[in-house]
Every structure is written in structure tokens, then in C-alpha cells.
Chains A and B, each alone.
Chain A
Amino acid sequence: MSRTFTPHHTIQLFKKRLLLVVIFMLICLLGLLARLIQLQLKDHAYFTTLSANNRLRIEPLSPKRGLIYDRHHRCVADNIPTYTLEFRTSSTQTPQKIVHTLSRLLNIPPKKSALWQKRIRQAHAFAPITLLTQLTEKERARIYVNLFQLPGISIHQQSLRHYPYDEITATPLGLIRHDPIQPHIYPATQKHQLPDPSHGLSGVERQYNSLLSGKSGYREIEINANGHQLRTVSTQPAAPGQNLILTLDIALQKAAVKAFGKNTGAAVVIAPQTGEILAMVSQPNYQPNIFLTPNASHQLKKWQDDPDHPLFNRATFGLFPPASTVKPLLGLMALQTHTVDLQTSIEDPGYFQLPHTQHRYRDWLPGGHGQVNLHKAIAVSCDTYFYQLSIKLGIKKINTILSSFGLGQAVSSDLAEHKGVLNSPDWKHTHQHEPWYTGDTIISAIGQGNTLVTPLQLAHAVALIGQRGHGFKPHIVKAVIEPNGKILPQPLIPWKTLPIDPIHYSQIIQAMQAVIQSPYQYHTGWRFGKISYTIAGKTGTAELYHRQTEAHQFVPKKLRDHSWFIGFAPVDHPRIAVAVITEHDSTATAVARDIFEAYFKTAAHPDAST
């Protein structure tokens, strides 16, 4: 039974205490509210990001890499699809069984099958692993037909770079980096920071990488806590790379590579009227299509370790002393500055001595060439004449003319190349901490010493001679094909040498013609023989060590001199200019001849164009 009477003060006490309880409740409530406001308003952005990161993933979509064509629209670089086999171990309870079935279906050797088993044991649950790359059509068919019993298995398509002409175009085109084919899934925040789809490492592929590679797209997918992909939230298609038309002529390139044969060296062929590079060769070479085979990294390492450096582009980065090829340029300078004229001649005893010195600078021909003027000096490559000339000119004038024709600097407008070295008092002081001696000037006259050039520079220089001083920067890309199909030709960048009288040009060019076809007994381009076109050129021999009087064949190959040939043809309105260097061999002239012959054979062809 309850009491019916309650003392008044008990109620008051209760009310007082209740008030305190209510205050306590309010404090708790406010605490909760504060926390909720902190979470939902203050840190809202932070949690939204986390929420998105939980459930959204970015799968990049690879863009198609731009195609590359030669000047006649023959494709020299394209993309072919390749298929890889992927396995997502989290999709099934029995990954070992799947792998076993797969091995049986595809006739996988037991060692590889065991390797697969090991990999799936170590695999992270949600990332797919690549089991096989470059599936053949038969393998793909087998897998597709049996897909129902292979949960978690999928075939992933990707593009690989393919070069229809393989090693013939390897030098100018270069290599691209091949990442291992792994599917990548990125967190949502990296939507705008996707990695490069493909990356050129050398040559055109590298110089024009930003145009060729296009832009990665992405697929935004929603996943649940198990990592299962539920749906595609949004898609951004990939923007394909732009296509390029090169100045290269595949027929000529092929001929140039063939002309080299087993020799090592480099050659560059330029069209002087536009500066377009028609062919570029560097031997020894490599086969870029190796990356389509499974053996790639092994072979790549072999090339990297090869002492002949097949991956190295000698045409743009190879440094050699220009040797006698600088003589025409010196001649031009001499004529222009009236240091000598055509009549000036000397008696060549076979050597040159500075007054009051003992040292003899020797000519290549023992006994000398007798009476020599500028014309003969160039034709027979008389060193003595130019030793004398060098004293009269001085190193400053020598370097002025050389650099005006591009030596000692980067000459092309769109290729990576070495600047080379122009030997000068400043250079010697900075790099070798040595003073300049007269002897340095003397040997500069015959292109020896510290001066180093690339074949590209010499090709450009001889093209400029052919153009009588008004040429263009060498370049390899003729036009870019925009996404809408419009062809955008690349601008030609003019190159003007310092002003030289046209008369001097024709005089020097006549001398250069005499190198190949002349009455002189020792004209150095005699190997050319009978030809159907007019040609002006110059040979050179880059010394590797101080020449003894030994016969050539007894010197070990590694120590033999390099040989140069530079030239252009026809003499009036030249259509090609060539620079060839063969290492440790004297066959540059023969190689150059083959190139010229190949050009003029096809030049007679109706659809050949400059």
C-alpha cells in the first residue's frame, strides 16, 4: 500500500535535484551537439573526401599513341594490341584450382605453373596479378571459351608500340619506355594527376612525346568494402595522341642503312633547300620491336652492356674531330677576308715548320704535293697549305667561320643533339687549364685537336655550303596532324651564315667538285668513280693516335682512324647533302657514294619528291 501523504519538503528537494539533473542532461546534449557540428560542419569536407576515397577508384584509360609517317605517308610507327591475362584472387575461394585449370588449358609447363601458385599465395587480395602477357589468338580463344569455369580471370587489352621498319627507323624514332603491364587503380583524389600514359626515351618519340602521347582518360568506379567494382560513376575518354609526318624518306633510309653494312658510324642526309632530314643512320643499331616479345628486358640489358653502344645515337650525339672537312670552310673565310686568293700558292715539301722550331707538322702525303693553291689544296686535302693558312687566319677567324656554319652549337630545331666543341683559347683555359699554343691553331686548320663535331652538324654545314649560305635549320618533323585531321606543317627556321661573296662560294665549290672528279692525282674522293650527277664534297680522316709509318692493315681495328665524307649534289641547286663517318675504317666515301646513287636512282622515279 502506498502512502498518500508526501512531505512538502521532499517534493521541493526533488524539484531542486531534478533541476540539477536537467542541467546535467543539457550539458550532455550540448556536448553531443558540439561534436556533431564539429563532424558535420567543420570537418565536413575532410570526411567527404574520406568517404569518396572509401568508395571511388580511378581506373586510367590509356590514350592511343600518335602514329608516325615518313614524308610519303608510309607508316613507320603504330600501335598494336596486346592481351594480358589477369587474375583477381579475391573473386574466388579456390584460386589454386583456377590456376591449375588454366595451366591445363594453356599447356603451361609445370615450373611456370608452380611459380603462378606461389604468386597467388603472396598476392594482395584486391589487386589483380598478371599471369601471362602477349597472349596468342589461340590462347585467347581457349580462355574465352572456358571463362565460365575461371572466375576472377580476365583478359586485358593494351597497346604496344610497333615499328613496321624495325631497326631501319630505330635511330631517328628512338625508344619509348615500356612499363610492365600492370592494371593500376588509383584513389579518387588522383583524378587529375594520372601518370604519363607512355613516355619516349629518345629520338622523335621523346622530342614530340607531349604531342604523341595524348592525354589519359579515366573511369571512375564505385567499389564496396570488399573491393568489388559495382558501377562506373563517370568516364572521361582518353584524348588520342597526334600523328606526325616526318621529313624522313623510308627508301633512302633503307638504302643508307644498307650502305653501311657491317661498318659502325653514322650518316645524316639533309635536303638543303628546306633543311629536312631525309635519312639518319647510326650503326650498330637495335631492334625496337623487341619489346613486343617476352625477351625484351634481357635483350635490352645486352644492348646496354654492348661495348659498341647500339642504343647510342651517333648521328646526333657522336663526337668526332671534323678533320679535313673543315678545309672548305677555312677556304671560304680566307677568300672572304682576302687573306689569300685563288692564285696564292705555296710549295709543299710534305711538312710545315714554325720558324725557330724543330717540330714538323706533316702532310698526309709523304713528300708533299708540290705546288699547291687553294683549289688544289682542297681537292687533294693538302695539310701543309692549311697549316700555313691557319697562321695567317688566326684561331679567332677560324672559329668565326666554323660557328657560323653551325659547328660548336646545336643546329637542329627539333632534335636533341650535342653541341660539340670548338677549340679556342677560352675553352682550353676553362676546361684544360692550359694556355693556347700556336700549335693548337695549326692543327685546328685540319680539324684535329679538341674540336669535336657531330655528323648532324657537318651535314648541316655542307648543306649550307650548297645553299651558298642561305639555309634552314635541320629538322625531322615535316607536319603534325591535328585531331580534326588538319595537317599543320612545321615552320622552316632559316639559318644565315655570315655574309660571303657568291663568287667565293662558287670557287670553293669548284674545288670541292675537284675532290671527286679532278685532274689531280691524289684527289681524295677518287673512290666515287663514274657518276651521272654533279657532286661537291670533302673527305676527312680523324686521327685516333699519332700516325706512324705503319701500314694500315697492321694497326688493330680499335685504333684505326675514322673517315669522313661530306658532300652535296647536284652542284647547282643541290637536292641532298650528306655527312658520313665510319669508325675505325676508311670506307666513308664508299658508303656516301651508295647513298647518293640510291637517291638519284629513285630521284629519277616519277613520284619521288624533294
Chain B
Amino acid sequence: MNTFIQRIQFHCMLAIKTRRSLDPWICLGCFSLAIIGLMSIYSAGNGSQTLFFKQFARICIALSAMLIAAYIPPRIWYRYSPWMYAVSLALLMVVLVLGHIGKGAQRWIDLGFIQFEPSEMMKLALPMMVCWWLHQQRLPPSPQHTLICFGLIGLPAILVLKQPDLGTAILLIVPSLTILFLSGLSWRWVIGLVTSLLASIPMTWHILHDYQKQRILMFLNPQQDPLGHGYHIIQSKIAIGSGGLWGKGWLMGTQAHLQFLPEHATDFIFALWAEEFGLIGVLILLSFFTMIVMRMLIMSIHAQNSYRRLLSASIAMMFFIACVVNIGMVCGILPVVGVPLTLVSFGGTSMVTMMVAFGMIMSIHAHRNLMTR
């Protein structure tokens, strides 16, 4: 009984002590992005309020998830990393099997009352696993361990690519490779990796799905099919370009409102923001992103051990890549992949995942002076 009360006392003290789990910079950044998102969603809704309130609710849920994640101490994350990875991998395989049965693109597991996307879970589980693995070894990792890492990364990546989900695959591969790089992978490996990636482009071209090929072709020359596949990019560029320096004003974006810009609430929300608030608005948005990313990188420097350092950096990288890919796609300098803009796009699971990741990194940062047992 006593020990039980003692335990509760201890945890409460811990909770109070870790009040400062919430990093003000990141929170500020998140709130700002959320507000930008809400403003854009409201504009995208064309006056209809349902979209706005839905987004508001989802932001609340996501922020709560972040809060909860922030209070979970990093050692818990560490302990359960391999488990999470294994479970995610299994679920991914289940998804693949279900997809085979259903003969279609499958990303969800439908549990009736909830739809569950294993690839989202993998977005968290994979970096955790790689960091966990590398933490066990002496850094920089030896060639065998590196190969094991490739296996750890490659397996879920292939499963996700088979779904097919190129966007999530990028968000799995790039942060994980960053982890390897940051752990001190020898330059020979890095160059070798890059060269083999480039060399495999012709081969990957063939295994790409038709629509993915189409997307790359459209990226290279959208005017080829201005009313079909090139439409998104052309309209998006028109929206951004016509915003100019100051933008057309909130709720005055004609491209979005007159239905010229498709997906204007989700993947292409950036174009709406750019159209309505111009370059100034875009710079404000980018500054919040930069603030968050920089803060996260600083946090990663102060982390206590390899696991925490690498994990923090990978979360920063994941967030960064998500933003760059989305904005690049909307501007027409990257081919279209389905990556939403965190907190700004009308979001669902990916927002929650990212917020949990934010919570993790804040938790890591909060625990930097505490000795973990």
C-alpha cells in the first residue's frame, strides 16, 4: 500500500517536474501553423463551416496526442521501440494481404469503429527501431550493422511502396537514412548509396505504377496534358503566382474559390495560402517551419544519448521533408506525391502521427537533465 502511494507520489512529482515538457518554441510554432491552417481551411470551405469545425476538432485531437506523448518519458519509447516496429511490420503485411484479397490499393485496416493506417504507425516505429538498433552498437556502425539497418528500413519501405504509397515511403526512407548518416556512416557508404540510388533510376522507372509514371511526366512538362494530369500543377502555379507579394486577401483567392484549384483543402492548401497572402504570407509560414525545425535540431544536440539524439534529429528531418516535399510539389519543382502539409492541410491520421512525434521530441528534451534508470 505504502509503496503504491509512494509510486503515485513519485509519478505526480514527475509529472509536475515535467510540466516544462512542453517546449514553448515548438508549441508556438504548432499553434501558428494550426491557425494558418484554420484560416486556409475556412477560406477553402467557401463559407461552409463544417470543414472548419472538423479541422478544429482534429487539431484538438492531434494536440492532445502531442500532449500525452510529451509526458511519456523517453525510456518508455526506448523500451517499446522493437515491439512497435514488429507490430507495425506485421500490420503492414496484413494490409498487403488484405489488399491482395480485395484486389485494390489498400492502406487501412478497418476495425469497424475505427480505420487504422499501419503505415502511419510505421512512420514513428521505424526511426525508433533504427535508433534503438544503432544505440546498441558502437557508433559509427560496422558494415554488418549497417546492412541490418538497410534491412530494417527496406522491409517496411517495400511494403509501403507496394500499397502503393510513395509519399509515406519517402517519409520512412529519408529520416531513417538521415539517422544512419548522423550516426557516422562512413563516406564510402554514403557515396555508394547515393550512386546506387541514381543508377537504379532506370530500373525503378519500370517498376513504377502507371499513375506514378504519369505524375513524373506531368512534373517535367505539365503543359502536355493541361486539362488532365497536368491540371493540378498548372492551376497550383497560377494560384501561387497570382498571389504576388501581398496576396489577394483572405477569402479572396479566386483559384481556390472558383474550383480551379483541386485538392485545395488538403495537399494543395499551400497554394491557397500563397494565393491569398502572397509572398509575405509564404515567408511567415516558412519562418514558422524553420523555427520548429531549428528548435528540434538544437534539442537533438542536447539529447543525452545516441538513441535520443538520433531520434530527435530524425523527427526534425521527417517534419522538414514533409514540408519541403509538399511545398515543392505545389510549386511544381517536385512531382506530385500525396504528402500533406503538417497542421495546415485538412488532416487526419498524419497530423496525429506528426504531433505524437513532436511530443516525443519534447519529452526527450524535457528529460535531458534527469538521469534515466
Contact = CB atoms under 8 A, between A and B. Distances in A.
Given A2-B135, A32-B286, A40 B333 contact: no
B163 interface: no
Interface stretch (B20-28, B82-90, B180-188): B180-188
Interface residues of A, number: 43
A70 B139 CA distance: 105
Contacts of B279: 36-37, 40-41
Interface in B161-220: 178, 181-184
Given A40-B274, A55-B258, A28 B324 contact: yes
Interface in B226-250: 235, 237-245
Interface string A210-233: 000000000000111110001000
Interface string A166-203: 00000000000000000000000000000000000000
B140 A223 contact: no
B55 interface: no
Contacts, number: 137
B307 A21 contact: no
B1 interface: no
Interface stretch (B31-39, B106-114, B150-158, B297-305): B297-305
B78 A2 contact: yes
**Chain A at the B interface: SS class:** helix
Nearest to A53: B238
Given A21-B181, A35-B331, A223-B258, A13 B282 contact: no
Contacts of A44: 241-242, 244-245
Interface residues of B, number: 54
A48 B333 contact: no
Nearest to B235: A54
Given A2-B75, A21-B313, A224-B258, A36 B331 contact: yes
A22 B296 CA distance: 12
The residue among A21, A25, A35, A39 with the most chain B CB atoms within 10 A of its own CB is A39
A39 B237 contact: yes
Contacts of B307: 2
Nearest to A223: B258
Interface stretch (A3-11, A84-92, A478-486): A3-11
A345 B207 CA distance: 114
A531 interface: no
**Chain B at the A interface: SS class:** helix
Nearest to B244: A44
B286 A51 contact: no
Contact of B300 (A18, A29, A54): A18
A378 to B, nearest CB: 80
B274 A226 contact: no
A54 B255 contact: yes
B143 interface: no
Contacts of A28: 320, 324
Given A10-B306, A18-B301, A40-B278, A225 B258 contact: yes
B290 interface: yes
A31 B182 contact: no
A51 B239 contact: yes
Contacts of A2: 75, 78, 135, 305, 307, 372
B309 interface: yes
A54 B237 contact: no
Interface in B125-144: 135, 138-140
Contact of A39 (B241, B258, B300): B241
Interface of B: 75, 78, 135, 138-140, 178, 181-184, 235, 237-245, 254-255, 258-260, 274, 278-279, 282, 286, 290, 293, 297, 300-301, 304-307, 309-310, 313, 317, 320, 324, 327-328, 331-333, 371-373
Given A21-B181, A40-B282, A47-B237, 12 more contacts: A2-B307, A3-B135, A10-B306, A14-B182, A14-B310, A18-B182, A18-B301, A32-B331, A44-B242, A46-B241, A50-B238, A225-B260
6 contacts: A18-B300, A18-B301, A21-B297, A39-B241, A48-B244, A51-B254
